[in-house]
Structure 1
Amino acid sequence: MITDVIVRHATDIQEKNEIANFSTRYNVFLKNTSAISWELLEFTRSKGAEVLLKEMVSKLMNFHLNSLLVFVEFSAPQPKNAVVKHKKTWGLLEERGVNSTMIKNKKNYSFDFEGGLKLIGFGEIDIQNNNVIESLIKSNEDVFFALANKKSTLLQGDIDYDINKSKWMEEIIERDGIIFFPLGYNDDTSCEIVALGKSKNIHPLSKK
């Protein structure tokens, strides 16, 4: 059990807050959305993020705790060559150490972007599987996780894929889900995970 964490709050992520500038730093634009982050000191993001995320999820008893939805967006356009078109998002992530065989219901999408291809991947992770979350975070791409509310029938297939990540987040939060993602960089000397959602849904995370 993790005990030594720093908890931070943001009532509205569009306003100045103690967690992050979400629009400038993370390109996240969400209205009427609150945030709570947990920071674990003396662990890098690549080493501590999976443990910290699982600890946060364990506090949310009104949610489906066995499965996380995942959204991955390559941070830079990829070349329009045969290798990229064949391997697609999940195949390229496999080369970077992500065990994609442990990820269910995978989807690959690509869009023309700045002379290359913007790659996006969707999937579902059994939260009991070890090292899958860590390997996704270590890939150094933009990765976001989502937890569905028990009262919602939200599945990845319910969401229109031809959208940006903010739209994906909006749809999940609107259905009382919660978004998680790591803050900072892999070589930071501490690890911080933020949860985004309606205030009533993320409230259990307000105290460790």
Structure 2
Amino acid sequence: MSKLLAFLAAACFIAAPVHAETLAIDFNTVPGADGRLGTADDEPIFSDGYPSRIEEEYAAVGVHFNTASVAKGAFFDGNPGNTFLTSQPVSGWFDMPVYGISIDSYSYWNATLSAYDAAGNLLVSDSIDGGWQRATLSVASTAPIFRFTVLPDAEGRILNLDNLALAVSPVPEPSQLAMLAGGLLLVGSALRRRR
């Protein structure tokens, strides 16, 4: 009976859901010497307020951009020191699998966030209406995401984006939760019979 209980406990552990780990990029700082975001040695992304280009500034955390513009100012959220993306098409890729992406928008134009697998196939997308509304574009996928784009509704239109959040571990699926619950019920019933 003890071998059965050990087996069931191991099955419950394996079936336990993986909690999503989030990588947050606010475009105000870049990783410092330790190569991680959110630590004491993070550095300001740019010292001046003029639009600048980013490409490999987040390579240390596995995020690359295909040349996006960054500006500083009170426009996006009222904070004069805030830095945000202000760019035409925004696109990039990841060194690691990502399972969810969200990014804030405050733009006049409509915007669409699209996520792609390693082969370039579209996995999922989300669209919002612009018109100077603050909104969040958000997608999630059970398949790994390796590339993304945020596009306006017409070529040449500028989007204002901030607070990119990436889920870098799988989000638990309902089937995983059901397996965990089933395993716990089996262990509980085995213990009850034993008494």
TM-score higher than 0.5 = no
- Could you say which structure has the higher strand fraction? 2
User: TM (normalized to structure 2)?
Assistant: 0.29
Greater relative CO (CA pairs within 8 A, separation 6+): 1
- Could you say which structure has the higher helix fraction? 1
- Structure of higher CA gyration radius: 2
